[in-house]
């Protein structure tokens, strides 16, 4: 047996570290937390300083007993969980569970997983920092109290099964308040005037300049009259060029990715929802079989809020930049970035593990999705170490009768980082960018045409999953590991629904948010988390005890709760039905959304007189290959998405594969692609077509060798199946209940 045991959180990390530490070290993973509060009750002694009642997380018994055995046979145990609050707490729980005396329990932390840092850090163990552990406990217990005391109130006052929490309730609130803004929005009329101008012959050249205001200050045009006043003057007065400004504009690259920025960019550029992004990133992190290299972890850890980059990685990037693009593209000094305040900074930024593995080089070993995501991460990282892009910019101000019109142009002079990575910028167009003739200051111009356009201000956009995550991060709500799961929670609770990519609150979400804003104002104030973090910092610094922090919080919270209970006596709060656009086939009323054992569905509001119902239809692109009808997305009993002809049984067409927009170029029929991980090229389903792909060749796996190497690797839908709400029926059927219970205990325990 190895002399030393090292425990980290992630198995992929364990593998890498094992390589660096060699034979004398056994390296194992805890798979995150090992001990927690019980799920079925509060588990906190409110009478005695919030003493927590921890227990082993169900399903981890084997793992822990294995660690215990290894620990008993080792000279030293290195607790190498992540260098943050949660990591420190995991180490402490491990120390307790493995009965490690303080002398054998050596706490080590790795700020980056590079050979040098790992080998050096292992030489400098310390003891567990109980202040950090205490801060984690305070956080954990506070969240438990809020969640487990407010949720039951919602069960009693609104509906069973609901939930509230420090994070999810704020996330829901953001979606609700965005909707309120949209509803309250009053469009404001405004106008644009564009002047088509030309030089006076024989000088040639034309361009368009946009109205800015008077020569003294900006002016907004809000009515046709405003516009007419300007037009009347400008049409008569001569145009001339007042100033021409030329400047070099520099644009610097963005920092490398964190979890939240990766999710945003993947959403914007690859159309990949955050959940999927994380699943694919996980594949890249755990490692992909690269021909000639074996299994290689392609990126650093994907759940991070840090912008740190190891020196090693910076050097590698800089030398790659010099080799591939030339010295001019490599700035004199390396760029380093600072994470936003409040970041825990436990891992590095998300970057390629080995920048020399270019996306093109390993493309053949990756699935399409892996390739696209890797290319994004690789590009963003390389770019972040490159020189700024330089633009030659020119701004021309033309005047007429005291009014100012502006035209501008900017031209790329030096590509810099844009040679690798073009950022997706949110476009705003205050002037028209166009190639400009070679103009001179003071020169007269001819007005060819004045173009007037009436416009209206637009309401703010609904959140998408990615923009909601950005909003949460900006407010310090949630952590990289919880952004995507939190959105799943508020969708599961039906506080929010997804319409295409947009998040919209349901009537239930509004009722719950109203109650929370009214009765638990502090809890759903984004500043609450910020205050909590401040307090936790105090605990970490040893300036305040964790029980003190909790007492202060609970004094206030318990009276808030009491007051809420008192004010909410009597009848339950009614949740209005959400009205759809569907018309009831039987009585013509507009149908409403209801939710039942199998999720949401459409029902006639005339119930019980009219009992007509129908499932919610999501129409997919393409046509049924059997009968040409529409294809609908449906959900199986087990919660998985499948696709079926709208005629249902009458036609009988049904598949797990996803219909795609583009038709088969040969026969024009709808093509499908395998849902799930791996090979995703759309295939033709028509056996008479020359491009027909037989069933066995539509598979998930890339090659037979691949299939052999990882027989367990199955398909992954990315959209996690929504467990059908097992309401009372489950309780009535003991057999069904047992199977669910078994599964639940094993893996659904951490709950997503």
Partner DNA sequence: CAGTGAGCGAGCTTCCGCTTGACTT
Please give the residues from 32 up to 51 whose contact with DNA meets the rule CB under 7 A. 32-33, 36-37, 39-41
Question: Using CB under 7 A, which of the segments 311-319, 356-364, 556-564, 642-650 binds DNA?
Answer: 642-650
Helix 168-184 and helix 465-474, axial crossing angle in degrees, nearest 10: 110
Among 279, 350, 511, 539, binds DNA (CB under 7 A): 279
Q: Is 159 in the site for DNA (CB under 7 A)?
A: yes
Give how far the C-alpha of residue 192 lies from the chain's centroid of Cα atoms, to the nearest Å.
Answer: 37
Give how far the C-alpha of residue 586 lies from the chain's centroid of Cα atoms, to the nearest Å.
Answer: 42
Q: Is 10 in the site for DNA (CB under 7 A)?
A: yes
Q: Is 717 in the site for DNA (CB under 7 A)?
A: yes
**Separation CA 92–CA 140 (nearest Å):** 14
Nearer to DNA among residue 459 and residue 507 (C-beta): 507
Q: Which of 301, 325, 403, 554 is catalytic?
A: 301
Nearer to DNA among residue 248 and residue 650 (C-beta): 650
Helix 465-474 and helix 259-270, axial crossing angle in degrees, nearest 10: 160
Give the number of other Cβ atoms within 10 Å of residue 182's Cβ: 14
- Span 338-357, contacts to DNA by CB under 7 A: 344
Among 635, 670, 672, 679, binds DNA (CB under 7 A): 635
Q: Is 301 a catalytic site residue? A: yes
Nearer to DNA among residue 253 and residue 678 (C-beta): 678
Nearer to DNA among residue 423 and residue 577 (C-beta): 577
Least CB distance to DNA at residue 242 (A): 55
Least CB distance to DNA at residue 98 (A): 17
- Span 126-155, contacts to DNA by CB under 7 A: 139-140, 143-144, 146-148, 151-152, 155
Per-residue contact track with DNA, 675 to 714, x per CB under 7 A? xx-----------------------------------x-x
- Of 66, 68, 13, 7, whose CA–CA distance to 33 is shortest? 7
Least CB distance to DNA at residue 228 (A): 55
- Stated as kind and residue range, the H or E segment containing 245 is strand 239-251
> C-alpha angle 286/748/474, rounded to 5°?
65
The 8 Å CB, 24+ separation contacts for 211-215 are 211/403, 211/404, 211/405, 212/397, 212/404, 212/405, 212/406, 213/403, 213/404, 214/402, 214/403, 214/404, 215/242, 215/399, 215/402, 215/403, 215/404
Among 479, 519, 669, 701, binds DNA (CB under 7 A): 479
Least CB distance to DNA at residue 31 (A): 4
**Separation CA 27–CA 160 (nearest Å):** 45
Least CB distance to DNA at residue 324 (A): 32
Q: In angstroms, how far is the first alpha carbon of the chain from the final one? A: 37
Among 282, 295, 431, 488, binds DNA (CB under 7 A): 282
Nearer to DNA among residue 143 and residue 312 (C-beta): 143
ω before 202 within 30° of 0 (cis)? yes
Among 137, 385, 467, 489, binds DNA (CB under 7 A): 489
The site that binds DNA (CB under 7 A) totals a number of residues, namely 107
- Span 569-608, contacts to DNA by CB under 7 A: 572, 592, 594-599, 601, 603-605, 607
Both structure tokens of 706: 């691949």
Least CB distance to DNA at residue 479 (A): 3
Least CB distance to DNA at residue 638 (A): 4
Both structure tokens of 430: 């205050």
Q: Are 18 and 27 in contact (CB under 8 A)?
A: yes
Nearer to DNA among residue 402 and residue 652 (C-beta): 652
Q: Are 8 and 30 in contact (CB under 8 A)?
A: yes
The residues annotated as belonging to the active site are 301
């Amino acid at each position: 047996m190895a002399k030393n045991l090292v425990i980290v959180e992630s198995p992929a990390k364990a593998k890498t570290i094992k390589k660096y530490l060699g034979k004398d070290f056994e390296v194992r993973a805890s798979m995150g937390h090992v001990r927690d509060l019980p799920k079925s009750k509060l588990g906190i002694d409110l009478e005695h300083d919030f003493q927590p009642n921890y227990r082993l997380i169900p399903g981890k018994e084997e793992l822990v007993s294995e660690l215990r055995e290894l620990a008993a046979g080792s000279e030293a145990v290195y607790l190498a969980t992540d260098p943050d609050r949660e990591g420190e707490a995991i180490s402490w729980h491990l120390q307790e569970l493995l009965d490690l005396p303080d002398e054998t329990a050596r706490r080590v932390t790795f700020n980056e997983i590079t050979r040098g840092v790992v080998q050096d850090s292992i030489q400098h163990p310390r003891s567990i920092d109980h202040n950090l552990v205490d801060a984690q406990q305070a956080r954990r217990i506070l969240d438990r109290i809020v969640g487990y005391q407010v949720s039951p109130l919602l069960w009693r006052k609104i509906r069973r099964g609901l939930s509230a929490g420090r994070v999810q309730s704020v996330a829901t609130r953001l979606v609700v308040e965005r909707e309120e803004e949209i509803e309250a929005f009053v469009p404001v009329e405004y106008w644009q005037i564009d002047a088509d101008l030309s030089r006076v012959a024989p000088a040639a050249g034309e361009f368009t300049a946009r109205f800015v205001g008077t020569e003294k200050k900006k002016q907004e045009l809000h009515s046709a009259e405003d516009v007419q006043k300007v037009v009347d003057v400008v049409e008569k007065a001569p145009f001339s060029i007042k100033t021409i400004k030329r400047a070099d504009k520099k644009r610097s690259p963005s920092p490398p990715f964190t979890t939240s920025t990766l999710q945003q960019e993947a959403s914007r550029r690859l159309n990949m929802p955050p959940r999927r992004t994380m699943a694919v990133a996980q594949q890249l992190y755990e490692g992909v079989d690269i021909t000639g290299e074996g299994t290689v972890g392609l990126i650093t850890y994907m759940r991070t809020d840090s912008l740190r980059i190891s020196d090693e990685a910076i050097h590698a990037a800089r030398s790659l930049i010099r080799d591939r693009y030339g010295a001019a593209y490599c700035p004199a000094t390396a760029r380093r970035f600072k994470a936003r305040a409040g970041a825990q900074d436990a891992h590095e930024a998300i970057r390629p593990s080995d920048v020399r593995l270019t996306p093109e080089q390993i493309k053949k070993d990756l699935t399409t999705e892996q390739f696209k995501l890797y290319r994004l991460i690789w590009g963003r990282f390389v770019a972040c170490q490159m020189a700024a892009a330089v633009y030659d910019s020119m701004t021309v101000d033309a005047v007429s009768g005291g009014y100012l019109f502006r035209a501008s142009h900017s031209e790329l002079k030096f590509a810099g980082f844009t040679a690798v990575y073009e950022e997706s910028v949110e476009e705003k167009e205050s002037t028209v960018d166009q190639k400009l003739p070679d103009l001179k200051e003071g020169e007269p111009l001819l007005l060819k045409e004045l173009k007037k356009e009436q416009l209206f201000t637009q309401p703010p956009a609904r959140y998408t999953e990615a923009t909601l995550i950005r909003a949460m991060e900006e407010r310090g709500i949630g952590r990289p590991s919880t952004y995507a799961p939190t959105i799943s929670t508020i969708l599961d609770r039906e506080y929010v629904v997804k319409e295409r990519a947009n998040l919209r609150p349901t009537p239930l979400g509004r009722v719950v948010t109203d109650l929370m804003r009214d009765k638990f104002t502090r809890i759903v104030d984004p500043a609450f988390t910020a205050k909590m973090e401040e307090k936790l910092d105090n605990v970490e610094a040893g300036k305040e005890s964790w029980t003190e922090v909790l007492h202060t919080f609970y004094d206030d919270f318990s009276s808030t709760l009491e007051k809420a209970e008192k004010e909410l006596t009597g009848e339950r709060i009614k949740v209005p039905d959400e009205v759809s656009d569907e018309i009831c086939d039987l009585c013509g009323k507009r149908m409403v959304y209801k939710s039942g054992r199998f999720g949401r569905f459409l029902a006639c509001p005339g119930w019980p007189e009219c009992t007509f119902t129908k499932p919610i239809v999501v129409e997919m692109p393409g046509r049924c290959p059997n009968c040409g009808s529409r294809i609908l997305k449906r959900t199986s009993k087990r919660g998985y998405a499948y696709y079926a002809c709208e005629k249902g049984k009458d036609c009988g067409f049904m598949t797990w594969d996803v219909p795609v927009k583009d038709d088969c170029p040969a026969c024009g029929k709808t093509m499908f692609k395998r849902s799930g991980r791996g090979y995703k090229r759309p295939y033709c389903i028509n056996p008479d077509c020359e491009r027909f792909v037989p069933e066995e060749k539509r598979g998930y796996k890339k090659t037979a060798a691949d299939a052999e190497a990882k027989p367990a690797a199955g398909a992954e839908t990315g959209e996690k199946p929504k467990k059908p709400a097992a309401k009372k029926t489950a309780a009535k059927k003991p057999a069904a209940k047992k199977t669910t219970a078994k599964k639940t205990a094993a893996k659904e325990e951490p709950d997503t």
